[in-house]
């Protein structure tokens, strides 16, 4: 019992000395030194615990409880002293320091439109001036709209031109191009003439590269009426490229194949990144493909509700991201979806 009483006295003495020393602390550095001296591994407080094995088992819990209470008291006092010192420091800072209102303030950071959005708005404006209206179509399509109504019945080899994302619902997929919107638009307006653009995101399971992504924007161009010819298509696209890239823009049309147009072509623009000398964006050719086009196939016209013997039309699919590569001389299409603020802040 004598040893137990002595330990109680030692603990109370340790508490009193520690609290008295704490009142003399004036800064954070001294607080750290106080913590080490009175609550550290080599402190008198911790030495009390080394004496517990010498006590009878029934006395040890009483000493342990007393030690824990003292520890809580010291930690509470420490937190209170820290708060007092911080308040004192803040008061001194406010009374001694002055705000220099002549210093320039921090610039407010404003949000910006995405470069793809800037290009899309430019495209909308150009075709609006030509008399085209915007028509929206769904991102999720049926197999019929995405393939069959576009002259690609089941097992048609042309379906392999698009690496398709299928859903768990049979015959439902993420559209691989905006061309299904042609059927939606024609069925809504037939037999009246139409002149529309169909913007939207498309999805393809492709290998990522400097000029290919698994999702990207596309703008479909569609005009249906009487006596529309390939020259109308060529003139419309050349006018568009001049307005988009400037009067000195160089373009070329190459024969191509699309199952939903006949004849079909692709339009290239002289690469603005390298000026035509060759780079990864243009694959060393000096040209960048920006769209595919052609005269609407009679089968597609018929699915859309038009009589191919009376009506003709042209269609084109533009790639806004590739157009943006040329407009701003960007060397990698993957920058558009990387969300790198350093890249996005360059556009206004």
Q: Are 221 and 127 in contact (CB under 8 A)?
A: yes
The beta strand positions in the chain, using DSSP E, are 133-134, 140-142, 172-174, 194-203, 215-225, 251-258, 261-270, 287-296, 312-318
Residue count of the chain, please give it: 348
Angle between helices 2-23 and 60-96 (to 10 degrees): 0
CA 93/CA 99 separation, integer angstroms: 11
C-alpha R_g of the chain = 38
Give the architecture-level CATH label for domain 115-344. 2-Layer Sandwich (3.30)
Please state the pTM of the whole predicted model.
Answer: 0.64
**Which pLDDT band, with edges at 50, 70 and 90, does 86 fall under?**
confident
Q: What does the block give as tokens for 260?
A: 């939903």
Classify each residue of 205-214 as buried b or exposed e, where b means 16 or more C-beta atoms within 10 Å of its C-beta.
Answer: eeeeebbebe
Higher local confidence (pLDDT), 78 or 305: 305
Higher local confidence (pLDDT), 267 or 64: 267
pLDDT in tens, 318-338: 988 888 887 788 878 888 888
For the chain, the average pLDDT equals 84
What residue segments make up the domains of the chain, in order of their start? 2-96, 115-344
pLDDT for the residue numbered 123: 95
pLDDT for the residue numbered 210: 64
Q: Has residue 82 got a pLDDT over 70?
A: yes
Bridge partners of residue 312, in order along the sequence = 225
CA 226/CA 309 separation, integer angstroms: 10
pLDDT for the residue numbered 65: 75
pLDDT for the residue numbered 4: 61
Q: Has residue 54 got a pLDDT over 80?
A: no
pLDDT in tens, 20-32: 777 887 777 787 8
Higher local confidence (pLDDT), 184 or 335: 184
Q: Has residue 203 got a pLDDT over 80?
A: yes
């Amino acid at each position: 019992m004598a040893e137990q009483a002595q330990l109680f006295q030692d603990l109370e003495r340790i508490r009193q000395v520690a609290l008295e020393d704490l009142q003399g602390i004036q800064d954070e550095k001294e607080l750290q030194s106080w913590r080490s001296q009175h609550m550290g591994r080599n402190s008198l407080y911790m030495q009390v615990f080394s004496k517990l094995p010498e006590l009878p088992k029934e006395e040890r819990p009483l000493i342990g409880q007393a030690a824990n209470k003292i520890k809580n008291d010291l930690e509470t006092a420490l937190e209170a002293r820290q708060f007092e010192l911080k308040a004192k420091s803040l008061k001194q800072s406010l009374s001694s320091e002055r705000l220099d209102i002549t210093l320039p303030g921090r610039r407010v950071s404003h949000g910006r439109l995405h470069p793809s959005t800037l290009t899309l708005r430019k495209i909308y404006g150009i075709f609006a001036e030509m008399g085209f209206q915007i028509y929206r179509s769904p991102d999720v399509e049926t197999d019929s709209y995405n393939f069959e109504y576009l002259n690609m019945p089941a097992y048609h080899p042309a379906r392999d031109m698009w690496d398709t994302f299928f859903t768990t619902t049979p015959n439902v997929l993420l559209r691989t191009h905006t061309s299904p919107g042609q059927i939606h638009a024609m069925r809504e307006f037939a037999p009246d003439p139409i002149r529309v653009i169909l913007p939207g995101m498309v999805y393809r399971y492709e290998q990522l590269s400097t000029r290919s992504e698994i999702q990207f924007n596309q703008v479909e161009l569609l005009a249906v009426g009487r006596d529309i010819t390939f020259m109308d298509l060529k003139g419309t696209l050349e006018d568009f490229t001049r307005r988009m890239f400037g009067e000195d823009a160089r373009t070329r049309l190459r024969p191509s194949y699309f199952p939903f147009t006949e004849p079909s072509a692709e339009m290239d623009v002289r690469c603005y990144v390298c000026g035509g000398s060759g780079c990864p964006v243009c694959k060393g050719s000096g040209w960048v493909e920006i769209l595919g086009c052609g005269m609407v196939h009679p089968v597609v016209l018929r699915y859309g509700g038009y009589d191919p013997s009376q009506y003709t039309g042209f269609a084109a699919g533009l790639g806004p991201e590739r157009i943006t590569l040329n407009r701003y001389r960007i060397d990698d299409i993957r920058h558009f979806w990387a969300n790198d603020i350093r890249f996005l802040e360059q556009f206004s």
